[in-house]
Homo-oligomer: A and B are copies of this chain.
Amino acid sequence: MTDKSLNISLPQGVRDMLPEEAEKARYVEETIVSVLEKNGFRRVITPLLEYIDVLSLGLGAELQDKIFKFVDPVSGKIIAIRPDITPQVARMVSTRMRDYPLPIKLYYNENILRCEEPRGGLPSELLQIGAEYIGEDSPDADAEVIATAVEAIKKVGVRDFKIDIGHIGFFKGILEDIKASKDIKKKIKDAVLIKDNSSLQEVLSSVREVRGDNAIKILSDLPSLFGDKGVIDKLKSQVKNETAIKALDDLASIINMLEKKKLKNYITIDLGEVRGFDYYTGVIFEGFTKGFGRAILKGGRYNNLLEKYGYPCPATGFAFNTENVIAAVK
Contact = CB atoms under 8 A, between A and B. Distances in A.
Interface in A68-96: 70, 72-75, 77, 79, 81, 88, 91-92, 94-96
B3 A19 contact: no
A83 B111 CA distance: 15
B309 A8 contact: yes
A190 to B, nearest CB: 27
B11 A307 contact: no
Most B CB within 10 A of own CB, among A49, A57, A122: A49
A213 interface: no
A227 B278 CA distance: 62
Contact of A48 (B14, B57, B74): B14
Interface in A1-51: 1-3, 6-19, 21-23, 25-26, 42-51
A111 B32 CA distance: 20
A312 B15 contact: no
A157 interface: no
Given A16-B46, A43-B22, A92-B16, A307 B1 contact: yes
Contacts of A44: 16-19, 22
A27 to B, nearest CB: 10
A13 B79 CA distance: 12
B22 A42 contact: yes
Given A72-B122, A121-B73, A50 B10 contact: yes
Interface in A94-111: 94-97, 106, 111
B22 A79 contact: no
Interface of A: 1-3, 6-19, 21-23, 25-26, 42-51, 54, 57, 70, 72-75, 77, 79, 81, 88, 91-92, 94-97, 106, 111, 113, 120-123, 125, 307-312
Closest 7 CB pairs of A and B: A17-B45, A19-B42, A14-B47, A22-B43, A22-B45, A74-B120, A48-B125
7 contacts: A6-B310, A10-B50, A13-B49, A16-B46, A18-B92, A18-B97, A25-B45
